[in-house]
Amino acid sequence: MIYSVIGTGAIGGYYGAKLARSGKEVNFLLHSDYQYVLEHGLDVQSVAGSFKLEKVNAFSRSVDMPKSDVVLVCLKSVNNHLLPSLLTPLLKDDTVVVLIQNGIGVEADVQRVFPNVALVAGLAFICCAKTEPGKVNHQSYGSINLGNYSCKDENKFKAIIDDFNAAGVEARNVEYNEAR
């Protein structure tokens, strides 16, 4: 599956880098860090083992990114007004969007804007920060709970959980309200 990350800060950088390191194709949307990451890669300093992605599929505009099977939205939810322009170019008929964001009712709000998109709620149990351009400092934890909000393809939902686990991220399928 092809993954894309919208919001490559601490959370998006960490989970996206873990998936990419495990061999998944991951495309990263970056703004202020774009040129740095393109030239220097993405560095993850982690209590679970540090690593660096030397070559990153880095993009400064989502319209230049390939269509994706899964999009991890790791923006702060106050920026969800940007989703119509950021997310739309990445969507296929069967794209699953995983909202790894704070807030209650986030999925319902996004579903109103994208009524036909399959949504999954993500709750990240992680302590990390973006400390410099292209650098994520992962201090502790790192697991993620995923709750199916509107994804009708149970096999794809399970495959996403399997991909996280294969990448070394403990991922659990939990009931939606618990995930949120």
Model pLDDT for residues 113-160, shown as the tens digit of each residue: 999 999 999 999 999 999 999 999 999 999 999 999 999 999 999 999
pLDDT given at position 180: 81
pLDDT given at position 12: 98
Tell me the DSSP string of the chain.
-EEEEE-TTHHHHHHHHHHHHTT-EEEEE-STTHHHHHHH-EEEEETT--EEESS-EEES-GGGSPP-SEEEE-S-GGGGGGHHHHHGGG--TT-EEEE---SSSHHHHHHHHSTTSEEEEEEEEEEEEEEETTEEEEEEEEEEEEEESS---HHHHHHHHHHHHHTT--EEE--HHHH-
With a cut of 90, say whether residue 177 has pLDDT above it: no
Report the mean per-residue pLDDT for the chain.
97
With a cut of 90, say whether residue 104 has pLDDT above it: no
pLDDT given at position 144: 97
In percent, the amount of the chain with pLDDT more than 90 equals 96
Mean pLDDT of 82-96: 98
Query: 14-32: per-residue pLDDT in tens?
Result: 999 999 999 999 999 999 9
